[in-house]
Amino acid sequence: MLVVTAIATVIAAIIQRVTGLAFVLVLIGPIVLAYGPVEGVTIAVSLAVVASLFAVPGAWRDVDWSRTLWLLGAGLAAAPLGALTASALPEPLLLLLIGLIGVIALSAQRLGPIARHVRGRPGAIGAGAVAGFMHASSGLSGPALASFALGDDWPQRRFAASAQIVFLGYGLVSVALRGLPSTPAPDLLILAACTAGGMLLGALAARRVPLVLARRVMLLCAWAGVIVVLGRAIASLLG
């Protein structure tokens, strides 16, 4: 399972570097199946911090600080509730919650008309609060941010750069709330190295791989993982 998770981590990091989003969305299925819903999300959130640290230097000049700070503030305020929800639910229900959040996240692209109303400072506060809750509970904060970007007509380059700062802030607070992973250090070091390697490979792939193709691969990997997580959750509940 470590080998499978390591491969998924590399793929997730490459897609994150090419598209600016979706690291945890791609990784959530394999890592939750390998390590369980609590430890799996904790590892995923921790690895997302590593990915953001690699992405921030190149994105720094394009960050839109006015929008970023509102998203960060609202998200950090909501993060404790997300962490509390994750710790309070039994494993089958937590698996179901993660799977359902994954489905909502992957379906967010179909909510374009609704997202058009998520704009301005109120939209940033609302989207930030939802994203912060989702990041601390499941690591899946990207779609809420993307919905705000769509509604507020946020240029893709500025949004992708700003999202790295937001992900880093959410990630650090989520790790502080959830605690560090209890998985053996060698496993964590291997996965962190895979994240770093994937980000470096992604920098090369970004020059050659069409964005449309990267997004299709992301959706395929993410849907496969979410469906398996939902299946395991339903089987646990029925069992």
The answer to whether 94 and 41 have CB atoms below 8 angstroms apart is no
pLDDT over threshold 90, residue 6: yes
- For 126-146, the pLDDT digits (tens) are 889 988 998 998 888 877 787
Query: What are the angstrom distances between the C-alpha of 8 and each of 79, 115, 162?
Result: 26, 30, 25
Length of the chain: 239
- For 36-46, the pLDDT digits (tens) are 888 998 999 99
SS3 content of the chain, % helix, strand, coil (to 5): 85, 0, 15
Return the pLDDT at 207: 79
Q: Which domain holds residue 201?
A: 2-238
**Number of domains within the chain:** 1
